[in-house]
Amino acid sequence: MFELFQRPDGANFQRYEPPGWRYLKEQMDLNLTKVKRFYRINPTAVPSNHILVRLLQSSTVPKHMGLNRYYDNVQNLSLNLSSALFFTSSARDGKITYGNFYNGPEIILADFSDFDYELENSNWQDTQAVQVEYHPYTDLNLILPEKANYPQTEVISVIRINLAKLLVQYRAFRLQEEKIAEVTNLEQRSVYQFIRMYVLPNMLNTHLDYSVINRLNCLLGGIDIVPTNKKHSFHLNDLTSKVDECLQFEIDYYGKVNRDMRTLVNSIKLLNLDHLIDLVKMPDIATTNQVLWALVLMRLPVIDLLTRICSTGAVPLNRGFRNSLLKTVTMLRTNNSLLNHLPFRSSVEIESLCDRILYRLGHR
């Protein structure tokens, strides 16, 4: 199944762009920039028990050591930190948590992949150390991913954290705060403010694109999209109706032409990133038994989308992917050891989603 979510080398796809999509991307980028700027110049704080506060305060690596050594030390520390906080990783099953980011059950994936730490240190304000791998909401208002901002749900969200990247980002913030304090004698801002100023707003990039995917899935399935009343205190361009219009153009287009699943995943448009593959390409995480359940769960909604678009058995190139998906989704549906990780209501939701996907894949 996971080969569907890998970027193929040298492939050239015929892609459709709905009229006006480029303008919407530009306007949404302006909205994102405005939201991030607001939180950076109006610092507020997250609660003291926030999971990211606990993570950052658990690090014992001195921030004044050289960046080279600091990076090596926090990379070595990451596995122990993630285990202590019950994150899911290739080395540990982890556990479902509640309300750290959204108002429902969550899987937090630990990412230990390497990165250009010098580049991230230079551009620390824009670092996306915490990324959304799935959430179930549809709003485009760019509301921060915090429990109080979203209605309760039993659908599981998935958050991926590169622990070393977050610690490198926080080190850069702390060093800057020290320099500012030396010059101005102002009190340094706290870890609680750092998270609300930078980490949560930078999550909105991936949050936005999953909102687009969820809206597309709702429009395909004839599901009513419930508008949200939660908005910022400042003005943003309301692009919701224009986005839905473009998504409907996309649905109409793919309903008239045969496209195999790989073409679809490399062609569907997004508002922050360019195409669906840019969002759902598999992270650099070893696919062990400990993490397999989480990786499959976080891609189920995308499989739901693709199977809605593709008519069963209509495109020969889909057969290989269909067989692979059929095997994986059947395994998830019938494997109690995987579903046992989940709260009861969430497992019922997953079973229902698996049944819908299996039906479209021709499983009777």
pLDDT score for 185: 87
**Contact (Cβ atoms closer than 8 angstroms) between residue 201 and residue 144:** yes
76-91: burial string, b at 16+ Cβ within 10 Å, e else: ebbbebbeebebbbbe
Longest Cα–Cα distance in the chain: 71
Q: CA 169, CA 195: separation in Å to the nearest integer? A: 11
pLDDT score for 9: 61
Region of 185 (left: φ > 0; alpha: ψ -120 to 50; beta: rest) is: left
Q: CA 98, CA 83: separation in Å to the nearest integer? A: 17
**Contact (Cβ atoms closer than 8 angstroms) between residue 61 and residue 74:** yes
**Contact (Cβ atoms closer than 8 angstroms) between residue 285 and residue 113:** yes
Q: CA 69, CA 63: separation in Å to the nearest integer? A: 10
pLDDT score for 258: 67
Q: How many CA atoms lie within 13 A of 197 on its CB side?
A: 17
- Amino acid symbol at 85: L
The Cα-based distances of 335 to 7, 21, 84, 295 in angstroms read 29, 41, 27, 15
* Coil, strand or helix at 245: helix
Residue written as tokens 């692979």?
Answer: 324
pLDDT score for 323: 80
Q: CA 6, CA 170: separation in Å to the nearest integer? A: 31
Residues of the chain with pLDDT under 50: 312-317
Each residue's pLDDT tens digit, 220-266: 888 888 777 788 889 999 999 999 999 999 988 887 776 678 888 88
Q: CA 167, CA 170: separation in Å to the nearest integer? A: 5
Each residue's pLDDT tens digit, 62-89: 999 999 999 999 999 999 999 999 999 9
156 Cβ contact list (under 8 Å, min separation 6): 96, 104, 105, 106, 107, 134, 297, 342, 346, 349, 350
**Cα Rg, the chain, nearest whole Å:** 21
pTM, two decimals, is 0.93
pLDDT score for 219: 92
Q: Identify which of 353, 340, 334, 358 has the alpha carbon closest to the alpha carbon of residue 134.
A: 353
